[in-house]
Amino acid sequence: MSTTRLIQHVLKTPIRRPITNIRKSPLAPIPFNYAKPTSIRHHAYGTKAPPTPPPPKTFTWKSAVVLALTATGLVVYFKGEKEKLMAQRKRQERDSIRALGRPHIGQPFRLLNVNEKRVMSSEELMEGQFTMIYFGFTHCPDICPEELDKMAEVTDAVKAEFGEGILRPVFITCDPLRDTEEV
């Protein structure tokens, strides 16, 4: 070869040649990543890099509309569920009141008089006199004895000032199983 031809041959061949068969070589058991970015590869060969596509748009009008519709739907759904829950609670309250029944205010009633061992009607109990009614327990260590003492003081004061038969004290037990006739 002549020197001119040798120089022409050297100038024609690129300085770097891509090595394609090194991965298949038994001398290189560990895989190497010889891939280079496209801009470097094209720069080495003197060609232009292909144009890069624009980055994808993450926020568009479509996504904004979908987000707004979803948020509105969730708000409407949860408001409806809250109204259902409130209606259910009102229904339960109304049903519990029905279960207890209506109070019989002003209706006649009957009481057992343990002293005289007879049943008294409300008309007999309140006929011609004032009635002071106390609901309590005989087995009550704290409040009941003090309240019964107050009731006795008031009864004694009314007897002293107005005489006998003006005020009748009535004790109604709240625990009939423990407050027996003997107590």
Query: Which of the 8 DSSP states describes residue 82?
Result: H
Tokens of 36: 């280079």
CA neighbor of 182 nearest in space, from 120, 168, 173: 173
133 and 172 Cβ atoms separated by less than 8 Å: yes
CA neighbor of 131 nearest in space, from 108, 112, 151, 153: 151
124 and 161 Cβ atoms separated by less than 8 Å: no
- How many angstroms separate the CA atoms of 169 and 171, rounded? 7
Tokens of 124: 């007999």
**What amino acid is encoded at 68 in this protein?**
A
Q: Is 174 annotated as a binding residue?
A: no
**Residue 71 CA: distances (Å) to CA of 52, 65, 74, 78, 181:** 36, 10, 5, 11, 69
- Annotated binding residues for Cu cation, written as ranges, equal 140, 144
Annotated binding site: 140, 144
